[in-house]
Amino acid sequence: MLKNIDVNEIEKAISARTWAIVPIHYAGVPSDMDRILEIAKAYQIFVIADAAQGVMSRYKGRALGSIRDIGAFSFHETKNLHCGEGGALLMARQAIFKKRMELWNFYGEQFRDLADQGRIELPFIPTYAMLNAHIYYIKVRDLPERTRLIAYAKERGVCLVFHYVPLHSSEAGRKFGTFVGEDKYTTKDSERLIRLPLYYSLSTAEQLKVVDVIHSFFKPSLRVNIGSWERKSASASTKSLLFCYIVSSFNQNLLNA
């Protein structure tokens, strides 16, 4: 007998508070995913597969953990692949990626002027790349300017963080590594780089505040312009961002993606 969820009992367990079915593929043997997906669709809820034991197993040719909304894998010591403590999540939905990309592009648009004036540098993206919007960073002139900007933003409720410590100057790097060639950029860039807030639930108002604070640091007079731009002349992408924000609750956004 299958040691997984009994698909005939699922509907009885669903209430108004249910937002996901979590099937387990015990011993790597797939649950009846067609039926589970059918029920999830009917009730507009997610399927989060506990595929901890499912690495390399397939359901009708499809890899376990990849079939619907989220698949969770374990790399615990008894699993096919292990690393002591570890795991992975597969997300079959694009909503998080799409939102991050919108936030990333919006920063890019808003800081174009400061970049054109040589006040900051924006991320360099080679033509061969397709981005995942993992980080939005800017580079300022030098360490003192970065320190001032981080403090200025903090006073105004915006958290900007520096990033990164070059490996060769870390404790392990100094002990085990060697910097090959001349350090033309690594140390300098690590002193100039600032990461901006970028996460799924960042609201338009919050992102505009980040933009506003950075502009006002470099050009206090621009603060007024940004305010009037926000009221009068929101660009197409801003409008779509606002629209997305208004029409989408977190769950709805994920379900519709």
Binding residues for ligand PLP, per CB under 6 A? 24, 50, 52-53, 74, 76, 87
Give the residue with the Cβ less far from ligand PLP, 35 or 76.
76
What size, in residues, is the chain? 257
Strand (E) or helix (H) holding 137: strand 137-139
Which among 82, 95, 32, 16 is positioned nearest to 52, based on CA atoms? 82
**To the nearest whole angstrom, how small is the minimum distance from the Cβ of residue 179 to ligand PLP?**
37
Cα separation of 213 and 219, whole Å? 10
Structure tokens at 125: 């993206």
Give the residue with the Cβ less far from ligand PLP, 89 or 125.
89
Give the residue with the Cβ less far from ligand PLP, 50 or 191.
50
Which among 163, 193, 168 is positioned nearest to 179, based on CA atoms? 168
**To the nearest whole angstrom, how small is the minimum distance from the Cβ of residue 24 to ligand PLP?**
5
Give the residue with the Cβ less far from ligand PLP, 89 or 247.
89
Structure tokens at 172: 């392990």
**To the nearest whole angstrom, how small is the minimum distance from the Cβ of residue 65 to ligand PLP?**
11
